[in-house]
Structure formats: structure tokens, C-alpha cells
């Protein structure tokens, strides 16, 4: 094998290793972010069920206020 072909082969192998590593890092981060989002959603859903939490509604003037008529 000539020196030029060997050099190209080495660059291809190194490039493939870097690309594979970046792909793996990207997939691990996406998985971690999904887990954090799911945990946050579960926490928010559980918090909404507490009796001391009220749901605010947007009024006609754009201000958020508690609902009328004793609704939650």
C-alpha cells in the first residue's frame, strides 16, 4: 500500500471514530434530557393535585386571577 493510501485510510478511521463518539454523546444527552423532562412533568402533575394549589385563569384584561365561583 502506498503512503498516500495509508494516510487516507488512517484519516477515515479517525474520522469514523470521532463521528461515532459524537453520535453516542448526542444520544446520551437526549436520553438524559428526556428523563429530566419526564420527571418534571410527573412532579408538576402531582403538585397540581395538592389542595393548596389553585389554577389561575386569564381575565379579559390579560391579568391572571383565581377562578370565580369557588372553582379550583
The answer to whether the pTM exceeds 0.75 is no
Largest CA distance in the chain: 86
Phi, psi (rounded to 5 degrees) for 13: -65, -45
* Helix-, strand-, coil-residue percentages of the chain, each rounded to 5: 65, 5, 30
pLDDT in tens, the chain (72 residues): 799 999 999 999 999 999 999 999 999 999 999 999 999 999 999 988 888 888 888 888 989 888 776 555
Q: Which residues pair with 57 in a beta bridge?
A: 65
Amino acid at each position: 500500500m502506498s503512503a498516500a493510501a495509508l494516510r487516507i485510510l488512517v484519516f477515515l478511521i479517525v474520522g469514523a471514530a470521532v463521528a461515532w463518539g459524537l453520535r453516542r454523546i448526542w444520544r446520551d444527552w437526549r436520553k438524559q434530557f428526556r428523563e429530566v423532562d419526564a420527571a418534571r412533568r410527573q412532579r408538576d402533575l402531582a403538585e397540581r393535585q395538592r389542595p393548596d394549589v389553585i389554577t389561575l385563569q386569564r381575565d379579559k384584561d390579560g391579568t391572571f386571577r383565581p377562578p370565580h365561583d369557588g372553582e379550583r
